[in-house]
Amino acid sequence: MDRVLIYDTTLRDGTQAEGISLSVQDKIKIALRLDQLGVAYIEGGWPGSNPKDLEFFTQMRDRHWQHAKLTGFGSTCRPGSKPESDANLDALVESGVKVATIFGKSWDFHVTTALNTTLTENLRIIGDSVAYLKARGLEVIFDAEHFFDGYKANAGYALAAIRAAEQAGADWVVLCDTNGGVLPHEMLAITRAVGQELKAPLGVHVHNDGELAAANSLMGVKGGARQVQGTINGYGERCGNANLCSVIPNLELKMGLPCLPAGKLATLTETAHYVAEIANVSLPNELPFVGYSAFAHKGGMHVSALMKDQGTYEHITPEQVGNQRRVLVSELSGMSSLVYKAKDLGLDITNENPETREILRTIKELEHQGYQFEGAEASFELLLRRAFGEEPLPFHLESIRLIVEKWSDKNFTSEAMIKVRVGDQVVHMAAEGNGPVNAIDNALRKALISHYPFLANYHLSDYKVRVINEQDATAAKVRVFIETKNHQDIWNTVGVSTNIIEASWHALVDSFVYGLRKYQHLTTPEEEPPANR
């Protein structure tokens, strides 16, 4: 069966994205996860450009890889010089990699303007650099920078550049849309035309400046390319690179072209979230295939159809890429949404049940007051369970007192004193925080942790406040969203009040109650199992 090899450049091209910086240990963690995913090539960085990448390759020199080939990146030698005297090429050889990727100019405009040399000299340095690395036993991938722009400007010279690489022994010739401005029909036509001119296998490397990187990558494959370069979550310079989390499932599920080892596609969502976590970048909910909202359904008519056949509003099943279906309940929801959600929680509910209509009325009234449950599913689950007579509260508030102080030469300080009843015991705790909500969180956590040790694994990962009716100024209602994490699970809760502390308390309590209810059978932090978002 025909196969497409995935070349991941998250650790090199992905780190050129604004706001992303990876330590050596970060890069090692991501590289190991990419190998588990089963990509064919992992581009670790540019060993000749900075000490961090050099250290990465040093640490990975003796690593055994399950699926991937670790690849070093560099450029052709400089005009007027020889490869054997080029420090960047030597660094590639000395890095210990078995695969080297070098880029060279294929657009005549870039040769004369950016590289400031002759067209003939550019062809020489391409051929000499590839031959130099091949003579040292490396698999060589040649990235033809700006190839598509170059081809449209001067097809003869662009072809001459990649022929120079092929004739010198390049194992792969990769056509790059470096500026990201090519259209899909151009990508298909040019890649197909180049395939008739070269014997070396082709790859494509596409940027996303026209919001077409994933589509263009697929068109490159349709045109004959059998290597696709890109990054996890589409990280990259300017608007990013081709998002492998979109490219891979489209190739495998829509085009019937295997990219990963059998069974590995189902780990794609987990990989995407893992890389985002290491990169300290929030994963957009709307990201196709792997985003939190990729299989989320809100409209009542949609959910009604889904209950009959999931294919009515899903182009694939979420489990194929390791994601989950979510049904959102809001003022737009109908009875079907509520029934679907309740059954998913194991609650006995039907369309004909009069309590069901009362619950739906309550939800819509709460949303009218300012609640928003579609982004706070943990609070919604607790609301449903309470409506069905399940009292999930593992603790009860007796009292809470807040003190906020400021001395003339000091910052504000916050202290919370809390009394909670756990079973037949009343626990009294006090804690400070960098703000009143943080102080309440710390005090509540201290009060409960002796009864529920696994709370040590929990932390608030996000806190958002939204003013609902701004015209009421300081008397306006506020909506507070809290996101809580443990090792692998994330849940969101909501609170609404004209008092920001009270709104925060409601969201905070739901956060603790949901987590305690879900893991109440545990006794120690180490016992907590992994869970999906």
Q: Which of 61, 44, 41, 62 lies closest to 53 in space, CA to CA?
A: 44
pLDDT, mean of residues 372-376: 69
Structure tokens at 515: 């987590």
SS3 173: strand
Residue 115 · residue 79 · CB < 8 Å: yes
pLDDT single digits (tens) 117-135: 999 999 999 999 999 999 9
pLDDT, mean of residues 390-413: 81
- Mean pLDDT of the residues in the chain: 88
Q: Write the DSSP symbol of residue 252.
A: I
Edge-to-edge order in the sheet of strand 478-485: 459-467, 478-485, 490-497
Confidence of residue 532 (pLDDT cuts 50, 70, 90): very low
pLDDT at 335 over 80: no
Confidence of residue 338 (pLDDT cuts 50, 70, 90): low
**Least confident residue range of 56-70, 193-207, 330-344:** 330-344
**Least confident residue range of 187-191, 371-375, 412-416:** 371-375
**Least confident residue range of 379-393, 448-462, 498-512:** 379-393
pLDDT single digits (tens) 80-120: 999 999 999 999 999 999 999 999 999 999 999 999 999 99
Confidence of residue 325 (pLDDT cuts 50, 70, 90): confident
Burial class (CB in 10 A: 0-12, 13-18, 19+), 64: exposed
Amino acid identity of residue 401, one-letter, is R
- Predicted confidence at residue 240, as pLDDT, reads 97
State percent of the chain over pLDDT 90: 62
CA separation for the pair 322, 264 (Å, rounded): 9
CA separation for the pair 254, 244 (Å, rounded): 14
- Predicted confidence at residue 396, as pLDDT, reads 83
Q: Write the DSSP symbol of residue 481.
A: E
pTM above 0.85, yes or no: no
Query: Tokens 């608007």 correspond to what residue?
Result: 239
pLDDT at 354 over 90: no
- Predicted confidence at residue 350, as pLDDT, reads 64
Domains and CATH numbers, the chain: 5-279 (3.20.20.70), 296-369 (no CATH), 396-527 (3.30.160.270)
- Predicted confidence at residue 527, as pLDDT, reads 43
Query: Tokens 């985003």 correspond to what residue?
Result: 291
Confidence of residue 349 (pLDDT cuts 50, 70, 90): low
Amino acid identity of residue 403, one-letter, is I
pLDDT at 23 over 80: yes
Query: Tokens 């100024």 correspond to what residue?
Result: 473
Q: Write the DSSP symbol of residue 448.
A: H
- 506 versus 524: which is more confidently predicted? 506
- Predicted confidence at residue 7, as pLDDT, reads 98
* Cα-based angle 163, 167, 123 (whole degrees, multiple of 5): 55
pLDDT single digits (tens) 245-301: 999 999 999 999 999 999 999 999 999 989 998 998 888 989 999 998 898 776 556
pLDDT, mean of residues 338-366: 69
State percent of the chain over pLDDT 70: 87
- Predicted confidence at residue 174, as pLDDT, reads 98
pLDDT at 371 over 80: no
Q: Write the DSSP symbol of residue 199.
A: -
- 526 versus 240: which is more confidently predicted? 240
Strands (E), 36-177: 41-45, 69-75, 99-105, 139-145, 172-177
CA separation for the pair 118, 133 (Å, rounded): 23
Strands (E), 115-156: 139-145
**Least confident residue range of 219-228, 257-266, 384-393, 440-449:** 384-393
CA separation for the pair 420, 452 (Å, rounded): 14
